[in-house]
Structure 1
Amino acid sequence: MNVKILVDSACDLTEEQYNAYGIEMIPLTVHHDDTEYKDGIDIAPKTIYDAMREGKSPTTSQVPLQTFKTIFTAYAEKKQPLLYLAFSSELSGTYQTAKMMEQQVRDEHPDADIHVLDTKCASIGYGLVAIRVAQLANEGASMEELIKMASYHATHMEHIFTVDDLTYLYRGGRVSRTAAFVGTLLKIKPILHVDSGKLIPIEKIRGSKRLLDRILELMDERGVDFENQVIGISHGDDLERAKQLAARIKEKYPVKDVIIEMVGAVIGAHSGPGTLALFFLNSSYK
């Protein structure tokens, strides 16, 4: 029996992609206007971006513990191998909750072939890892092979991104109030990446004209073997700029493909409208 791949909604894949690769998705929660919504199921990311533009502050929460208990138990009882690839543990408590339930279900079902892996990735970077692992799972790869591949691709998945307004990162505790105020005042655009699951600033660009140039320079410095890669781009309701970046990448590199998706409601509630993120396997990948 092939291993089933489970992800959460922070991978920002579409329903069509879940169906195409046989991936099961579990949603995180978005809190907006005193209502709870299932991310990726009953709220559109644009709803959150429009609300943020109006000055509202949606919040998010992790997958409930009982949800993992129900899913893991169901797979254990039907003896179906399950690999849950989790959103970065540095950005959400979902991984820790899943690990707790993994152990509990294993105690109740000693033969359960259930594993939880922290990808330390987010958005389409996380999604690209999930797609690759799901492809191998559908080809009949073993659990050991899948965990090895998932760990390898997750470790080498580069995240390069920028945000349009530092205020949203300040609200999430990623930058100081002073940095957010001064950055907004001076029209400074930060470039950040993800290192071991954490958001790390790389540099600051003044004005947006040079921004795409610098992002492409970083891709050139950090990437490798682009002709064998699918590149990921995600955006915070800024499809035009995402398309511009994709076009420039295709002009410069012989990539296999470029996937463009909107940053989902959960991550978007913290990064804000105008976010632009680029994902590729870095130069230490071979």
Structure 2
Amino acid sequence: MSVVVVTDSSASLPVELSDELGIVVVPLHVLVDGREVTDGDEIDYSSTTVTTSAPSPGELCAAYRRALSLSGSDGVVAVHLSRQLSATWEAGRQAIAELGADDRVRLVDSLSAGLGTGLAVLAAARQAREGGSLDRVFAAAESAAARGRAFIMVNRTEQLRRGGRLSTAAAFFGTELVTKPLLQLVDGRLELREKARTRSKAYAKLVAAAVDAAGAEGAAVAVQHLGAPEAAETIVTRLMELLPGIRELITAEFGPSLAVHLGAGAVGVLVVPGGCD
């Protein structure tokens, strides 16, 4: 057997990749007009009220228990989105306490969200596939999370501020005077990095931030978007031109659990310098 890696659906990993690496994915809750849907279903955000919530400790307890069974005696590493953005990490801590499995289930705060979490999950799962011990798999996830950088362009910050993901002190960035705010994750907290007057300038700043973060030694890179496939494709092309040493590149849409807060047109670039091998 081998160590099993668990994450939540906000990690946005392609299903085929999760299946290939044996990653256990716990869905976040997405409610549309009070009705629960699957994180990943298509949602019309313009005509519905959409909210999200973390898995309960009981749900994570069940997932960790199943993962422990799959691992035999090798253990579990659970990598979740930033505890600054969601109650999922705290629910995971409670689940481990309920299981009495502190020595067999290791919990990692990815300090990120979306494919920022997903890249840390990949680092752990690849180490597990190579037969790495619980300590080594845990270290791989922690290392990728610590090295990771996330940059996101949104059209407005209102949804993030309303949901408590962005401080009200930064509210002026979301006014009509600022067309496109560029955000970044710092120690798991979502902060405003800079502003741009036009979409094209915002994309240029997004690419520049990612290139600077990637460094010269090669990096794993992910691009995510919400209803902006052409913008994502343009950014991917530009990153490939500017970062010839990219070790891997993943693209995906933001699922509902993140899209609710980011809003239509959001585009993000997630970078792990040194890669996730």
So what's the TM-score if we normalise by structure 1?
0.87
Q: For the Cα contact (< 8 Å) 2:74–2:134, is it kept in 1?
A: no
Matched, 1:98 2:88: no
TM-superposition CA deviations, 1:214-235 (whole Å, max 9, x none): 1222223332135x32210010
Match of 1:18 in 2: 18
Amino acid at match of 1:249: L
TM-superposition CA deviations, 1:135-193 (whole Å, max 9, x none): 1101100111111111111011000111022332232232549936x745235211111
Where do residues 123-142 of structure 1 align in structure 2 (5 Å cutoff)? 123-142=114-133
Q: For the Cα contact (< 8 Å) 2:5–2:22, is it kept in 1?
A: yes
Match of 1:188 in 2: 179
**Higher mean displacement: 171-180 or 233-242:** 171-180
Q: For the Cα contact (< 8 Å) 1:162–1:190, is it kept in 2?
A: yes
CA distance in 1, matches of 2:161, 2:120: 29
CA distance in 2, matches of 1:137, 1:178: 41
CA distance in 2, matches of 1:75, 1:149: 18
CA distance in 1, matches of 2:263, 2:30: 14
Matched, 1:30 2:30: yes
CA distance in 1, matches of 2:222, 2:68: 33
Match of 2:3 in 1: 3
Q: What count of residue pairs does the alignment treat as equivalent? A: 271
What is the deviation of 1:206?
Answer: 1.0
Q: For the Cα contact (< 8 Å) 2:76–2:105, is it kept in 1?
A: yes
Match of 2:49 in 1: 57
Matched, 1:251 2:245: no
Q: For the Cα contact (< 8 Å) 1:224–1:281, is it kept in 2?
A: no
Is the partner of 2:185 in helix, strand or coil? strand
Q: For the Cα contact (< 8 Å) 1:162–1:276, is it kept in 2?
A: yes
Q: For the Cα contact (< 8 Å) 1:57–1:269, is it kept in 2?
A: no
Amino acid at match of 1:23: I
What is the deviation of 1:75?
Answer: 4.5
CA distance in 1, matches of 2:26, 2:252: 18
What is the deviation of 1:207?
Answer: 1.4
Amino acid at match of 1:232: A
CA distance in 2, matches of 1:74, 1:277: 33
For structure 2, the 5+ residue unaligned runs are: none
So what's the TM-score if we normalise by structure 2?
0.90
Q: For the Cα contact (< 8 Å) 1:7–1:86, is it kept in 2?
A: yes
Matched, 1:69 2:64: no
Q: For the Cα contact (< 8 Å) 2:178–2:195, is it kept in 1?
A: no
Superposed CA RMSD in Å reads 2.3
User: Kindly tell me: are residues 79 and 222 of structure 1, through their superposed partners in 2, closer, same or farther at Cα, counting changes over 3 Å?
Assistant: closer
For structure 1, the 5+ residue unaligned runs are: none
Matched, 1:120 2:111: yes
Amino acid at match of 2:195: K
1:160 pairs with 116, 141, 151, which one?
A: 151
Amino acid at match of 1:160: F
What is the deviation of 1:104?
Answer: 2.0
User: 4+ residue runs of structure 1 moved beyond 3 angstroms?
Assistant: 73-80, 175-180
Q: For the Cα contact (< 8 Å) 1:236–1:268, is it kept in 2?
A: yes
TM-superposition CA deviations, 1:56-102 (whole Å, max 9, x none): 33000100121122233344565451111111111111111111110
What is the deviation of 1:2?
Answer: 0.6
User: Kindly tell me: are residues 233 and 76 of structure 1, through their superposed partners in 2, closer, same or farther at Cα, counting changes over 3 Å?
Assistant: closer
Is the partner of 2:13 in helix, strand or coil? coil
Match of 1:81 in 2: 75
CA distance in 2, matches of 1:178, 1:193: 13
CA distance in 1, matches of 2:105, 2:113: 22
Q: For the Cα contact (< 8 Å) 1:9–1:27, is it kept in 2?
A: yes
User: Kindly tell me: are residues 80 and 221 of structure 1, through their superposed partners in 2, closer, same or farther at Cα, counting changes over 3 Å?
Assistant: closer
Is the partner of 1:185 in helix, strand or coil? coil
Match of 2:171 in 1: 179
What is the deviation of 1:37?
Answer: 2.1
Match of 1:200 in 2: 191
Amino acid at match of 1:216: V
1:262 pairs with 238, 241, 253, which one?
A: 253
Is the partner of 1:5 in helix, strand or coil? strand
CA distance in 2, matches of 1:220, 1:5: 29
Is the partner of 2:65 in helix, strand or coil? helix
CA distance in 1, matches of 2:3, 2:28: 23
CA distance in 1, matches of 2:197, 2:36: 38
